[in-house]
């Protein structure tokens, strides 16, 4: 048994789902670069398109169950985090999609199996493949354990990755990406305090502090996301 066959078996074990039609999973794991110049090889782009829509549905459904009284704006912020490329890539990496991907040799040598974009696209494609293989009810049963950790993180902190959440929020409204600026750096070298301002077109900037620039940026993004004028 070669390493990729083993990886596919391990992936199905992590999914908790065994495909009835193996060809569906194979399509979901086939990167577009492999089908260039060949019409015989079907890649995962169409499944990715469908999987993206299914993921949005499943996440929205789960958030509404967990937050029956939440406003649309708050639900939208959480949804953007949970369907983001970073989240999909993280889930895909955790269940072993990378080793199971079907890629040209050159892509493998340059580390494509660990790239967020490929992992996220394949994760969405796998979601669509399960749906086509067994329907929405079965897909829902597979999805919930996969996204449980990510949903819990959003529940506990408000935003698992506030910078990504803010960027997704801006992109969804066709606004430029948020801009971060270090306003000040105070304190000794061993215990600095950074003040960072984040701005999004059309909104008043928000400031926050942190022990590092990254921490301050996350705090500023979180503060902006929690404002009442963010819908």
Residues that are catalytic: 52, 124
Tokens of 68: 């029956």
Strand order in the sheet with 206-210: 179-186, 193-199, 206-210
Q: What are phi and psi for residue 165, nearest 5 degrees?
A: -60, -45
Sign of CA dihedral 29, 34, 35, 41: negative
Q: Within 13 Å of residue 203, how many CA atoms lie on the same side as its CB?
A: 26
Enclosing H/E stretch for 195? strand 193-199
What secondary structure, in 3-state letters, does 147-192 show?
Answer: HHHHHHHHHHHCCCCHHHHHHHHHHHCCCCCCEEEEEEEECCCCCC
Distance CA 144, CA 58 (A): 9
Q: Which residues pair with 182 in a beta bridge?
A: 196
């Amino acid at each position: 048994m070669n390493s990729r066959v083993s990886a596919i078996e391990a992936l199905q074990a992590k999914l908790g789902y065994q495909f009835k039609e193996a060809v569906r999973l194979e399509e979901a794991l086939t990167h577009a670069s492999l089908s260039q110049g060949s019409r015989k090889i079907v890649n995962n782009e169409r499944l990715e398109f469908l999987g993206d829509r299914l993921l949005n549905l499943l996440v929205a459904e789960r958030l509404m169950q967990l937050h029956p009284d939440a406003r649309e704006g708050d639900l939208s912020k959480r949804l953007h985090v949970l369907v983001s490329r970073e989240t999909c890539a993280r889930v895909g990496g955790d269940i072993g999609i990378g080793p199971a991907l079907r890629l040209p040799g050159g892509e493998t040598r340059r580390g494509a199996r660990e790239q967020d974009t490929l992992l996220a696209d394949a994760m969405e494609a796998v979601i669509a493949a399960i749906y086509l293989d067994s329907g929405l009810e079965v897909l829902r049963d597979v999805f919930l354990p996969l996204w449980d950790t990510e949903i819990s993180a959003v529940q506990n902190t408000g935003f698992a990755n506030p910078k990504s959440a803010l960027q997704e929020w801006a992109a969804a409204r066709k606004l430029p990406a948020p801009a971060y600026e270090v306003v000040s750096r105070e304190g000794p070298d061993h215990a600095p305090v950074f003040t960072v301002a984040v701005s999004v077109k059309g909104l008043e900037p928000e400031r926050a502090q942190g022990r590092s620039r990254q921490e301050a940026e996350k705090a500023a993004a979180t503060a902006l996301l929690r404002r009442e004028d963010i819908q």
